[in-house]
Structure 1
Amino acid sequence: MKVEDCETDFPKLPALQKIETYPITGDKNIQMADNSFSDGVPPDSLEAAKNASNTEKLADQVMQNPQVLAALQERLDSVSHTPSSYIETLPKAVKRRINALKQLQVKCAHIEAKFYEEVHDLERKYAALYQPLFDKRREFITGDAEPTDAESEWHSENEEEDKLAGDIKNKAIIAEKEAAAAEEPNPKGIPEFWFTIFRNVDMLSELVQEYDEPILKHLQDIKVKFSDPGQPMSFVLEFHFESNDYFTNSVLTKTYKMKSEPDKADPFSFEGPEIVDCDGCTIDWKKGKNVTVKTIKKKQKHKGRGTVRTITKQVPNDSFFNFFSPLKASGDGESLDEDSEFTLASDFEIGHFFRERIVPRAVLYFTGEAIEDDDNFEEGEEGEEEELEGDEEGEDEDDAEINPKKEPSQPSECKQQ
């Protein structure tokens, strides 16, 4: 490979090839005096030889630079060791067989898509089994039902230590406990259950503004509804609110549409079902209570008379409740800008997190135990990376999370946008 074939940050040597055409062996070949030439050497040949000599010196200087040599070596290594360069060296008969393998891989991707469709059917089946437990969870949270002694019994990991400490203190404070029990407040249900989860989870707390908090304290339940059999894959998040001073809806919904099929243009990118779009709902805000907009005053000057007037204007405001007015994925072939793509991807991630983590394990996010588990898992990954230092970087992150079928009918309280 010639030097000029390698891409580096250093300028190419345009006359480097002339080193072979016009070799310089010493002062015997060239004699210069008063801008005239002797020994019958043509002026153009002598000039070319002079340029070649300068080029050779420049090449020597450049090639002695360790940065240039490192860049050249890196370029040579990348050219000679990339998988694509290796494939190009294979005989046509072998390439033909590789193409056949790719055809088989496309068929595998379509079978995998069917597999995930059946997984979604199983999700729907087991969601029906979970729901009675989630309904009872809501009753305990709202105070509509009180757990029995058997239902409220829980054995902690430190039960023996707690029991021993309790026995020691029991006799001394039994009378005090009885007196305190009569005065101890007994609020209904578990106050601010879901709002506490929002505060505990960083992904959610980043969305919540101070003026959102009083509204979220009225949140009583979050449900996941899967699409019906035979309908396009989707799932709906339902946020159930008690009566409040902010809006008249009792339920706010967010529908996430999914796809489980390989892309025709890039079938090998298929890694399972993915969220492709989402729809929110209309929030019926009470007068002056809409936290998703703010009113600003703006002065306007009349061009002719020069008088000034003040007008009021509503502009968008940061709020968790913008979650129900999502950005729409482009369906007309036009690509979104970078900021919009990031916003949409974040929305999909939050929707999946509600579905896969928050709703099924709500009490553990309320107590913080699930968050501690997540933190420990992340620390373990980091430790493993340190131990494997020197190896290639780890595998890509887990597949984009699975996402279900159809848009179920929306509750009457929340109109689909």
Structure 2
Amino acid sequence: MSVSIDISGLSHERIHVVPSPLAELGMALHALSEPGHHPGLQGWATAVSTRLDPCLADRLCEADFLWRSTFSDVFAPFAGLPGQSTLPGATLAEELDQLDKLTDEQFVDAALEFTCQSTYSEPDRNLLADPAVQRRALDLAAARGPQQVKFTQRLLDEPPVVRAWLRKLLEDCDEAFFADTWARLSHQLAADARLKTDLLRRKGLAEALKALSGAVSLDESEQLITVDKITTGRTTTGSGGLVLVPTSLGWPHVMVLHRKGWQACITYPISAPGLTAPPTVEQLTRRMAALAHPVRMRLCRHLARGSYTTSELADAHGMTAPEISRHLSVLKKADLITTRRRGRYVQHQLDISVVSRLGSDFIEGVLR
């Protein structure tokens, strides 16, 4: 599975490598709510979490589904502005102003990405006027939990109120911890952007994309960028541009914004924190055997993004719930996934800290 970007007719002048403070804030919030995805940031996450005002911490918990498992396009508002040529702002305030310029329909659609429902392939949805579409959004939110249902209903009923609430929340995060983090990271991100821009000019787009990530490639004959992802999607730059956004806090995630009508954007990591110690050889053998099955590998690629119910996985992979349950059982016995109950729903998630160690575990195991 992959996401592809048709770049036919795209000149190098319309390709930009630009850091985004709002995107990095989104990554920071994700790392705080899902520290298992970022073992190298646990010290930073712990330090920030312990200093947070309890009121702000509660507000972040209320909204963490917006960034826990899905990188919502509300963190890349520049891409949704008319003309598909706007770049990220130089400051967080500028990008929050860009967020305010999105239509209510754009904002609601992007904010509802947490529901597992891909809205990219539904360009004619009318979230704010079609009762059937709204009921579907609420049904999907129900599988996520009561907070998501409450948020979805509020979002559909009062988009301006939610927009103002989100902006205030992000501004408070900036004041509480992100301004200091951005001051430390912005120079590193700007330096990487300059290096990638220079590489693009000297050696071309193929070499620049190769430097972003091994998951990104270019078929020059087809004029097609392909990014290895768990989803399948396609977009085109058309008359717009392509924006490459470096992130320091986002490793190992590579995100592709391919929403219909929005400017294409790839967010790529610039650093890879270190990992932790290995398990026993017996555990390693069991885990590698569990991952040898192609269906379980596909499930792992899905579960790496967040926690999902058996029925959600069955729907996403075109299988029956009993078939999914059998594969989940094997993964659970290998200690590769964790399970938790949220009300009447049981959700499963890949244990990133375990999977991230498999390579070094194998080397130590065969040399021991």
**TM-based fold match above 0.5:** no
Normalised TM-score (structure 2): 0.21
More relative contact order, 1 or 2 (CA 8 Å, 6+ apart): 2
Normalised TM-score (structure 1): 0.20
Whose helix proportion is higher, 1 or 2? 2
